[in-house]
Structure 1
Amino acid sequence: MMDYEQRAKSVAECLMSYRRDGTGWKVCRKSNDVVVSWRPSSEFPGNVYKGDGIISGSPEKVWECLKPVPNGFRVKWDDNVKKFELLEQISLDVSVCRTVTPSAAMGIIAPRDFVDVILVKKYEDGSISSNATNILHPGCPPQSGYVRGFNHPCGCICVPMSGEPGKTQVLTFFQTDLGGLLPRSVVDSFFPSSMADFYSNLNKSVKSLRDV
């Protein structure tokens, strides 16, 4: 039996090291919402992508849109999340989930599914994060119709901005092996553009919550 909790905690440590280590990142996309950077991953033969953007909304509101729960807001606004299922609740803060993504890049990227252990962690400075990485789970073997992809340590961190209570810094880290035989150029162009869309859609979602 894999120690899911320990694996999830090591992801949180990994993301914190990415957050602190500013070396080697190369900017690949900038928009009004986000700066996306990348550097080679030490986890798999691909890249780790970092998004850094300011969202208009309190950390609580932003987290409401991001938190990894079934029937949460994420499925409604994130174009890359078609379905989100809870497979097993390990503890209060650790769960095993399956995420289904739609086809992308004009159909070049087929629908995929990912099985991850996810840790929700709060920090003393008021930051809150979701930390995920791939696992094998007996309750969810690969299924026909989906290419099984693998997330390496990835997640989102909502950071309160001192002096600006209505704004939140959102850091995201993606390093995903999409699986299948995709050309590298497709993968390298997909992530920066989808992350720019992610921040744009998150901003709109938080704004709609604020207007309620």
Structure 2
Amino acid sequence: MEHAELAKSAADKLLSYTTDESGWKVCKRTREVAVYWRPSAEFTGNVYKGEGIVSAKLEDVWECLKPEPGGLRVKWDNNVDQFNLIDAIADDITVCQTVTPSAAMGIIAPRDFVDVVLIKRYEDGSISSNATNVDHSGCPPQKGFVRGFNHPCGCFCIPVPGEPEKTQVLSFFQTDLSGYLPKSVVESFFPYSMVNFYSNLTKAVKALNV
């Protein structure tokens, strides 16, 4: 498939995840987020879903979340060291490289991911970022990073009816970290990481309006 078709296919899959309630099991819950998991149909690992309400306007939340070079995401998301544009396919479709730091006390080495990313806006005011891994000649595997692979993943910012100062944030992570990592390390890392993701997002949004 061409990159644009892969992006649209990933967006369709993510949208289906938002309505398919089957098989999800809670693995972590805080005041800010509930994290669920189920076996992935895309690879041998799991797909993780986060559900939370952020007390801020949707556009402010999206400003913090949107995947763009030079954007706010690199500043507040502990799992993103760099976000680089590789190719602009259309106004709403890009190919990007994400570089992540080491994690789990150094057990997980720095990674990089190359994804096609599609931004979608919906009639109800929702906005989503949708991504999946692609090969691109502009970003071959690089020394110093393990090349990981994101299967359909992304975030939805959804209006809360009657509450314009609140935004529902749905997130889906479905990542093959590659390398030789114990399954237990991977399965403990993602729920912990997603809780931090929501906590840091909430702080970043509040800082926008200070």
Distance 1:126 1:5 in 2: 23
State the match for 2:144 in structure 1.
145
Deviation at 1:169, TM superposition (A): 0.2
State the match for 1:72 in structure 2.
71
Unaligned runs of 5+ in 2: none
Deviation at 1:150, TM superposition (A): 0.1
State the match for 1:108 in structure 2.
107
Asked if 1:83 is matched to 2:82, the reply is yes
Asked if 1:61 is matched to 2:32, the reply is no
TM-score, length-normalised on structure 1?
0.98
Deviation at 1:3, TM superposition (A): 1.1
State the match for 1:205 in structure 2.
204
Deviation at 1:4, TM superposition (A): 1.0
Q: Is the 8 A contact 1:57 1:210 kept in 2?
A: no
State the match for 2:157 in structure 1.
158
Q: How many residues were matched structurally?
A: 210
State the match for 2:121 in structure 1.
122
Letter in 1 for 2:81: K
Distance 1:145 1:192 in 2: 26
Moved over 3 A (4+): none
| Aligned Cα root-mean-square deviation (Å) | 0.5
Instruction: Write out per-residue CA displacement over residues 141-189 of structure 1, whole angstroms, 9 at most, x where no aligned residue.
Output: 1001000000000000000001100000000000000010000000000
Letter in 2 for 1:169: Q
Deviation at 1:210, TM superposition (A): 1.9
Deviation at 1:69, TM superposition (A): 0.5
Distance 1:163 1:51 in 2: 22
Deviation at 1:84, TM superposition (A): 0.4
Question: Does the residue aligned with 2:90 lie in a helix, a strand or coil?
Answer: coil
Letter in 1 for 2:155: C
Identity %: 67
State the match for 2:195 in structure 1.
196
Question: Does the residue aligned with 1:113 lie in a helix, a strand or coil?
Answer: strand
State the match for 1:173 in structure 2.
172
